Chain A
Amino acid sequence: MVDHISLPLKIAAGLVFAFLIAPSLIVIPMSFSDSREIMFPPSGFSWMLYREYFAGPEWVAATIESTLVATGVTALSLATGVPVAYALVRSRLFGVAIIRAFVMMPMLVPTIVFALGLYIYFARLGISGSTLALILGHSVHNLPFVVLVVIAGLRQVNPNIEVAAQVLGASVLRVFFSVVLPMIAGPIAAAGMFSFLISFDEVVIAWFLSSPRTMTLPIKMYSSIQWEVSPVLAAISTLLTLLSLVICVLGVALRRPEA
């Protein structure tokens, strides 16, 4: 756009930016406090809260569980999401529009409704509270997101390269694995990182599906905020903000195909 930017607009935009970024910035100085009291500005400088996080067996166990779940979710959501994105972009069959709506559905249903359904369903199946239950739930929750990112990547590559491979005798499967996948490796990596992060931070589904044995980091944080507002949260929040920043910058860089 080529219009000029008026001063009131600049001020309004600046204020909204400040509001958006304030929570991420505030946790950083808090995390180096040397006191167990939560106050601002924090007193002194120390690594105390970080030591407390890494030395706390419950926090470490929750972090490991979240990492485990998010890794499984990344694998499953990519294994299902990448092929379906390919079908949606390249197949012009009549039923494809229906499949598209079907796959995007989890985005339009409030998460709490889906989480309750999973809770009852997995209880009947006898797998409630397991890591597998968490992986299945999060994979479906993330699927529309993975599909959208991969579709955007596929739209940027020339479909006739695939046609050429076919003309030269490659099977449909061979074209998919040897031609399509390498061309969209960047968007796939971005989708995988996003899927990992969404699962790592997800609260509602995990609240219904996790058990004390499979408590994820967000659930541990949730109970900690609810009951005591422990200062350790500042250290964990800073680390999580750092993780978000890395994934968001890498994701933007990787989303261009053949990058």
Chain B
Amino acid sequence: MSAVSAASVADATHGRARRAAPDYQKAWFSAPAVVLIAAVFVIPLVIVALQSLYREGFTIAGYEQILGSTLFWRILRTTLEITLEASLLSLLLGYPLAYYIAQLDRTPRAIAMILVLLPFWTSILVKSFAFIVILGEQGIIKTMLRQFLSLELGTSLVFNRIGVMVGMVHFLIPFCVFPILNNLLAQPPELRRAALIMGASRRQVFFRVTFLLSLPAIVASAIMTVVLSIGVFVTPALLGGRRDMMVANLIDYYTREALDWTMAAALAVMLLLISGALIWVLSRVDSIDRH
């Protein structure tokens, strides 16, 4: 019997044939990954939690020190500000882009996808270097303004909050475009057509049909951008100034400069709790809107 005809027999006797390979045997294929995650992911996280409570014996001094330091509260505020602003801005720029790509035909859409995928796959260091070249004092933008408009910008565009936001938004936009684009392409076009036939204007069709149906994808994008930006490390270090230090940079400082692992671990635990709380809130929004 050829494999193809055996496949059609199996198609016909679906239920009985499936029992030939018990599910528990296939479940064993997850063993290598489970061992790897347990040994190289779960144990390190447990160690962080334990380390945060340990300094020559059990102590909560790490947490006390953090909660009592003005530096921590200032950096936490900066981190949350940058996270929320960058997430919002990248959604605001990513949504119209996804909406535009969704309307394209096959070939232009494939090209547009590559234009989004290329920055997605480009090293964060290449981007940081490029933005320093573009935004710096001798950079492209300032030079062009000087030469063509003889305009001297008073503010710097990099090594401050502006630089961080440019770098962050650039990094986050693709993470917004992919889920939203998938959602828009999966929406049945009949719904929009029906709304048009019933007399809705294009604006109404967008806001009452397309946009509402895409809310779950917006929430999914927001969760991704929050997780990615709350722990961001490279962008504030390379494109920001001293006052744009984020929690990740503080963790790095305590680990490698101050050599205080207890403080570093306590900060990491707080960062994990805060990002977990934000994810939880955002996923609640998602389940409310599905009811």
Contacts and interface: CB of A to CB of B under 8 A. Distances in A.
B160 interface: no
B17 interface: yes
Interface in A208-241: 208, 218, 221-222, 225-226, 229, 233-234, 236-237, 240-241
Given A119-B255, A233-B129, A226 B238 contact: yes
Contact of B45 (A4, A10, A109): A109
A19 B165 CA distance: 13
A-side interface mostly: helix
A126 interface: no
A60 interface: no
Interface size class of B (residues with CB under 8 A): 35 or more
A257 to B, nearest CB: 16
Contacts of A19: 93, 170, 173
Contacts of A241: 118, 122, 126
Interface in B164-214: 170, 173-174, 184-185, 187, 189, 192-193, 202, 205
A79 B35 CA distance: 12
Given A112-B271, A221-B129, A10 B100 contact: yes
Contacts of B127: 23
A121 B124 contact: no
B106 interface: no
Given A80-B32, A140-B37, A240 B123 contact: yes
Interface residues of A, number: 101
B140 A118 contact: no
B135 to A, nearest CB: 10
A222 B231 CA distance: 17
B284 interface: no
A51 interface: no
Contacts of A106: 37, 41
B103 interface: yes
Interface of A: 1-5, 9-10, 12-13, 16-17, 19-24, 26-27, 30, 38-40, 76, 79-81, 83-84, 86-88, 90-93, 95-96, 99, 102-103, 105-114, 116-121, 124, 136-137, 139-140, 143, 147, 158, 160-168, 172, 175-176, 197, 201, 203-204, 207-208, 218, 221-222, 225-226, 229, 233-234, 236-237, 240-241, 244-245, 247-249, 252
